[in-house]
Amino acid sequence: MRVLVTGGAGFIGSHVVEALRARGHEPVVFDVRADPTADVRSPGAVRDALSGVDAVCHQAAMVGLGTGFADAPEYVSHNDLGTAVLLAAMAEAGVGRLVLAGSMVVYGEGRYACPRHGVVRPGPRAVTDLAAGRFEPACPVCGAGLEPGLVGEDAPADPRTVYATTKLAQEHLAAVWARSTGGSAVSLRYHNVYGPGMPRDTPYAGVASFFRSALARGEAPRVFEDGGQRRDFVHVRDVARANVAALEAERHAGAATAYNTGSGTPHTVGEMARALALAYGGPDPVVTGEYRLGDVRHITADSSRLRAELGWEPEVDFEEGMREFAAAGLRGD
């Protein structure tokens, strides 16, 4: 299969390219890092890139929480306009198979259960609570403490940042494209991806990159809140394999399906920082009590649908992955 990989020179995209080659496919890299003209917002460049292509793995995006609402036009341009241009060109070229890099950020907070009211959806955390060190969301009905659980793909979307909103819009665009063209679209909702080749700490890098960069400078990783935030850290090679599994899966014309893509084993941010610091040889993390507006407290994946329907299983466990990541280099960009 000849597969166009947008963002194929990036962190996740480059691993997808490697995984495709390992399976005997022919990846075609389309990335402004490799070619300044390879912009998904450019209809002509996208049409040319789709020549002879059987499928598209769409990894290109502006990522991260962002630095304020002033970033909104840029996020929408890169993520939503870029996806619309790509899908329009795919429809014109008759390319009917898409795998999209989705994100768990479309959920907002994860799944919570109240002892009295069952499954509930807490709203955004109040600044007054965060400033006072009250980080756990409360039941919106009775104010009781909540038990976090695994979020499934059928949970309602509740994007809480500009980036999250653009990722949800990408899924909606892909679903409309699939229905109108008879194509098939799969969105892999990545959880916290880490591993070799992560970019150095930038406003858009993941927390694992920030911690790893601090250690490389001889500094203690700075853990926000109390370190108890639950996340699902999934290795980039496992994410790349999920992309290949989705591309190779049986095609269902007109279908658009979302799959959580996580390890299935929650860890706290504090646990991750300690494991990484231990593997690197210190210094130990520092819990700061700081917070960022827009961050959610707990979001961890139920990835059983991906396992059951595509036969995918994560292969890199948390401890092994952190040891490798501690020794691996980071991208300078």
| Structure-token match 């990989």, residue found | 5
pLDDT in tens, the chain (333 residues): 999 999 999 999 999 999 999 999 999 999 999 999 999 999 999 999 999 999 999 999 998 766 578 999 999 999 999 999 999 999 999 999 999 999 999 999 999 999 999 999 998 999 999 999 999 999 999 999 999 999 999 999 999 889 999 999 999 999 999 999 999 999 999 999 999 999 887 666 689 999 999 999 999 999 999 999 999 999 999 999 999 999 999 999 999 999 999 999 999 999 999 999 999 999 999 999 999 887 899 999 999 999 999 999 999 999 999 999 999 988 864
Q: Where are the alpha helices (DSSP H) in the chain?
A: 11-22, 43-49, 72-75, 82-93, 127-131, 162-181, 207-216, 236-248, 269-280, 304-310, 318-327
Q: Which alpha helices (H) appear in 194-333, and where do they start and end?
A: 207-216, 236-248, 269-280, 304-310, 318-327
| The predicted structure's pLDDT at residue 194 | 95
Question: How many beta carbons lie within 10 A of that of residue 52, not counting itself?
Answer: 11
Q: Which residues pair with 3 in a beta bridge?
A: 27, 55
Q: Are 261 and 234 in contact (CB under 8 A)?
A: yes
Read off the pTM: 0.95
User: What pLDDT is recorded for position 203?
Assistant: 61
> What local confidence, expressed as pLDDT, does residue 294 receive?
78
Annotated catalytic residue within 75, 107, 112, 163: 163
Amino acid 16: pLDDT: 98
Active site residue 280: no
pLDDT score for 200: 84
Q: Which two tokens stand for residue 327?
A: 């020794």
What CATH class has 2-110+151-327? alpha beta
* Res 138: pLDDT: 95
